[in-house]
Amino acid sequence: MHFIAFVVTNEKPTEAVLAAAMAPFGPDVLGDDHKWGWWGLGGRYTGLLIPHNIANTIKGKPDAMPPWERRDDGLRGPGKTGPGVDALQHSNLKYPYFDTGGFPAAVVIHEEWHGSDENILLGSKHLLSQMGFHDVAEAFDDTEERRVWEAWLYEVADLMQAVCKNCWIAVVDCHKYVNVALKLLPEIQKLHPNVVYHETDGASGLIVSTDNVTPKGWMKKRLLGSLH
């Protein structure tokens, strides 16, 4: 699961400065409770921040992503950039970030992590539709997810308003492994009880259950969803 994190630092966010800011929240420190699996400056969200002055800013690139993530999937893959930059001082921020196509799911301020609740990350209605379960998406009650998201909008506004004008803001593309298939399976089975989660060597996903599903043959069945 990809999401935007705004990383706020006192110093210009060089690679070393960003690495130090992000390190406390990675798998090497937090283990299974980690906030990110990998990250890169800009990445799929490169060009999100619009500066008053392009001087003294930093531009990342889409290929900050690992090679297996570099693909044209409608997000900003290689060759796709936003109109702005990926790091600038707060005083140099011209337009609100959400006007240029993105909103952070996490904010890291001076090594303190805020956000990235799964209700913020998932957007279950959208994911269910993406997986082809349009009827489940239509029936899904997203009241709690919308409540959490709306509360997060206000929290981000308060957090960013408190950032000093000389501080730096960096756009970081974070990836966190979330087993979407298992997460949404209970909702799917309400309308499609014959859909099950199946896992074998190197592959996993949701399939229509039949009596002859085998570790070697299940991928030939109709694949309805997968991990992301």
Domain's final residue, options 136, 162, 177: 177
Q: Which residues span the domain enclosing 70?
A: 2-177
* pLDDT given at position 206: 66
pLDDT of residue 62: 55
Structure tokens at 146: 């919308």
State whether 19 and 93 are in the same domain: yes
- Shared domain check, 101 and 68: yes
Q: Which of 44-48, 52-56, 68-72 has the lowest mean pLDDT?
A: 68-72
- How far, in Å, CA of 5 to CA of 41, rounded? 10
- Are 211 and 162 contained in the same domain? no
Average pLDDT over residues 90-106: 76
- What pLDDT digit, counting tens, does each position of 149-167 carry? 888 889 988 999 999 999 9
Q: Are residues 167 and 186 in the same domain?
A: no
Residues 124 and 200 in one domain: no
Q: What is the pLDDT of residue 84?
A: 87
SS3 assignment, position 29: helix
Q: Over 50: is that where the pLDDT of 77 sits?
A: no
Residue 205 CA neighbour count, 13 Å, CB half: 16
Higher pLDDT, 59 or 1: 59
Per-residue confidence (pLDDT) for residue 221, from 0 to 100: 39
Phi, psi of 155 (to 5 degrees): -65, -40
> Within this chain, do residues 151 and 211 fall inside the same structural domain, yes or no?
no
**What's this model's pTM, rounded to 2 decimal places?**
0.78
Contact residues for 106 (Cβ-Cβ < 8 A; gap 6+): 3, 4, 5, 6, 35, 113, 114, 115, 116, 174
Percentage of the residues of the chain whose pLDDT score is greater than 90: 33
What is the b/e burial string over 38-48, where b = at least 16 CB atoms within 10 angstroms of the residue's CB? bbbbbbbbbbb
Q: What is the pLDDT of residue 23?
A: 95
* Share above pLDDT 70 across residues of the chain, in percent, rounded to a whole number: 71
What's the number of domains the chain is made of?
2
Q: Which residues pair with 61 in a beta bridge?
A: 42
User: What stretch of H or E contains 147?
Assistant: helix 143-161
Tokens of 113: 């992590």
Q: What pLDDT score was predicted for residue 114?
A: 94
Which of 177, 197, 218 is a domain's end point? 177
Please state the rounded mean pLDDT for residues 204-218.
51
User: Is the domain of 125 the same as that of 60?
Assistant: yes
Stronger pLDDT, 176 or 11, i.e. the higher one: 11
Same domain for 189 and 159: no
The confidence band for 179, taking pLDDT boundaries of 50, 70 and 90, is: confident
What is the C-alpha to C-alpha distance for residues 126 and 74, in angstroms, rounded to an integer? 15
Task: Tell me the residue ranges of DSSP E strands in 38-111.
Answer: 38-41, 87-89, 106-109
Tell me, what's the pLDDT at 79? 47
Same domain, 15 and 102: yes
Nearest to 41 by CA among 171, 150, 145: 171
Same domain, 128 and 207: no
Q: Do 105 and 213 fall within a single domain?
A: no
Farthest-apart Cα atoms in the chain, separation: 64
Whole-number average pLDDT of the chain: 78
Helix (H, G, I), strand (E, B), or coil: what is residue 199? strand
Do 11 and 61 fall into the same domain?
yes
